[in-house]
Amino acid sequence: MKSFLFLFLLLESVLAIAQEEITELELKNHIEFLSSDELKGRYPGTSENDTVVNYLVNDFSKHQISVLVQEFEAKKRKDNTIVSTYNVLGLIEGNDSSLKSEVIILGAHYDHLGIKGDSIYHGADDNASGVAALLEIAEKVKAHEKELKRSIIFIAFGAEEQGLLGSQFFVENPIVPLNNIKLMINMDMLGSLNEKSQVYMGGAGTFLGGVELMKSLGEPNELSPVVHAGSVGGSDHVSFYKKGISVLGIHTGGNENYHQPTDTIDTLNISGEVKVANYIYQALMEVATTRKELKFIQQD
């Protein structure tokens, strides 16, 4: 069941220039596409799920980011049937001869709940918003890749809603030794920044200096981070934490549309998400460019 399906390396004939700024329009375009009726709630094993996978592969490739597609089998919660689905990985190598073997992962799940009855579960906040940030942060990192000491792997996980299956598959079949993964940052629901500009996170105490770093990046990004040292639970980063890897799980809070057909793009605060994406970009660059050791700290 483990296989790495396709290795796409810079296949796109049209070479787009990696763009530095993360814009509201770019985030909006990704979310609009991913949460559209046509994609029918991005359910594992459907042709619409495969359409999303192709979209992710194309977006990474367009910005000259090496892509790897990891196929795995997912058992669906609804009826216990098994379908094939995918993780999509984008890779940007670091430049420091000794630190480039160390890896920071930025992740976001792309799947959602599909259709129930007559209702499409659009999953705009959960988690088209996180995937949009993943693609735009990757593009920005690519524009700054010369600054990287450590390497970065961007992962769009499949089948999270079926029980963190994509991230579980990855940690059981990692493309680099798990020991080399120094931090996993997960984004799940970034589209609902509130009036107080509070961005929430757990796990900041699982790496040295994490709490201080995430607090310090609030003000320059006009955000009020609510930083928990522990409180790891919730999404794909848990799969990494269980393997003894430092993690940070970031979100902008739940709301009444959570896991409802009403989780649609019109309910989102996309200008707020620009700030959140830049905040995460800066955190990512800080850990990927520092010589400081990144060390796992157990929280309870």
What residues line the site for Zn ion (CB under 5 A)?
126-127, 188
Q: Which is nearer to Zn ion, 63 or 122 (CB)?
A: 122
User: Pairing relation of β-strands 66-75 and 3-8?
Assistant: antiparallel
Q: Which is nearer to Zn ion, 59 or 188 (CB)?
A: 188
- What length does the chain have? 300
Find, among 68, 74, 69, 70, the residue nearest to 45 by Cα. 74
Cβ atoms 186, 108 nearer than 8 A: yes
Q: How far is CA 126 from CA 10, 87, 111, 251, in A?
A: 29, 17, 9, 10
* Side chain identity at residue 129, one-letter code: S
Q: Which is nearer to Zn ion, 148 or 238 (CB)?
A: 238
Q: Please, what is the minimum distance in Å from the beta carbon of residue 99 to Zn ion?
A: 31
Cβ atoms 282, 225 nearer than 8 A: no
Q: Please, what is the minimum distance in Å from the beta carbon of residue 109 to Zn ion?
A: 6
Q: Which is nearer to Zn ion, 200 or 211 (CB)?
A: 200
Q: Which is nearer to Zn ion, 211 or 248 (CB)?
A: 248
Q: Please, what is the minimum distance in Å from the beta carbon of residue 97 to Zn ion?
A: 38
Q: Which is nearer to Zn ion, 126 or 273 (CB)?
A: 126
Q: Please, what is the minimum distance in Å from the beta carbon of residue 130 to Zn ion?
A: 7
Q: Please, what is the minimum distance in Å from the beta carbon of residue 73 to Zn ion?
A: 21
Q: Check residue 18 and report its DSSP letter.
A: P
Query: By CB neighbour count within 10 A (0-12 exposed, 13-18 middle, 19+ buried), where does 260 fall?
Result: middle
Residues in contact with 132: Cβ distance below 8 Å, sequence separation at least 6, in sequence order: 26, 27, 28, 30, 31, 34, 273
Q: What are the φ/ψ torsions at residue 252 (nearest 5 degrees)?
A: -110, 15
Three-state SS at 129? helix
Find, among 180, 10, 17, the residue nearest to 94 by Cα. 180
Q: Which is nearer to Zn ion, 102 or 126 (CB)?
A: 126
Q: Please, what is the minimum distance in Å from the beta carbon of residue 15 to Zn ion?
A: 33
**Separation of alpha carbons 195 and 274, rounded Å:** 15
Q: Please, what is the minimum distance in Å from the beta carbon of residue 158 to Zn ion?
A: 12
* DSSP letter string, 22-37: --HHHHHHHHHHHTSG
Q: Which is nearer to Zn ion, 233 or 244 (CB)?
A: 233
Q: Please, what is the minimum distance in Å from the beta carbon of residue 126 to Zn ion?
A: 4
